[in-house]
Amino acid sequence: MTVRPILIAPHPVLKRPAEAVGTVDAEVRQLMDDMLDSMHAANGIGLAAPQVGVLKQVIVVDVAGPDEPANPLCLADPEIVWGSPETVLGEEGCLSLPDQFADVVRSERIRVRFLDRDGGRREMDAGGLLARCIQHEMDHLQGILFVDHLSSLKRNMILRRLAKTRKQLAAAE
Ligand code: NI
Q: Tens digit of pLDDT per residue, the chain (173 long)?
A: 799 999 999 999 999 999 999 999 999 999 999 999 999 999 999 999 999 999 999 999 999 988 899 899 999 999 999 999 999 999 999 999 999 999 999 999 999 999 999 999 999 999 999 999 999 999 999 999 999 999 999 999 999 999 999 999 889 87
Distance 155 CA to ligand 1 centre (A): 14
| Positions marked catalytic | 137
Total domains in the fold of the chain? 1
HEC letters along the chain: CCCCCCCCCCCHHHHCCCECCCCCCHHHHHHHHHHHHHHHHCCCCEEEHHHHCCCECEEEECCCCCCCCCCCEEEEEEEEEEECCCEEEEEEEECCEEEEEEEEEEECEEEEEEECCCCCEEEEEEEHHHHHHHHHHHHHCCCCCHHHHCCHHHHHHHHHHHHHHHHHHHHHC
Domain contains 160: no
Whether residue 102 lies inside any domain: the answer is no
> Could you tell me if residue 98 is inside a domain?
no
Cα 45 to ligand 1 centre (Å): 9
- CA–centroid distance, 92 to ligand 1, in Å, is 8
Domain extent at residue 71: 12-88+107-145
Residue 115 lies in a domain: yes
**7 within a domain of the structure (yes/no):** no
pTM over 0.85: yes
CA of 103 to the centre of ligand 1 (A): 13
Residue 156 falls inside a structural domain: no
Which CATH number characterizes residue 42's domain?
Answer: 3.90.45.10
Q: Has residue 53 been placed in a domain?
A: yes
- The residues whose Cβ lies within 5 A of ligand 1, an ion, are 94
In a domain? residue 5: no
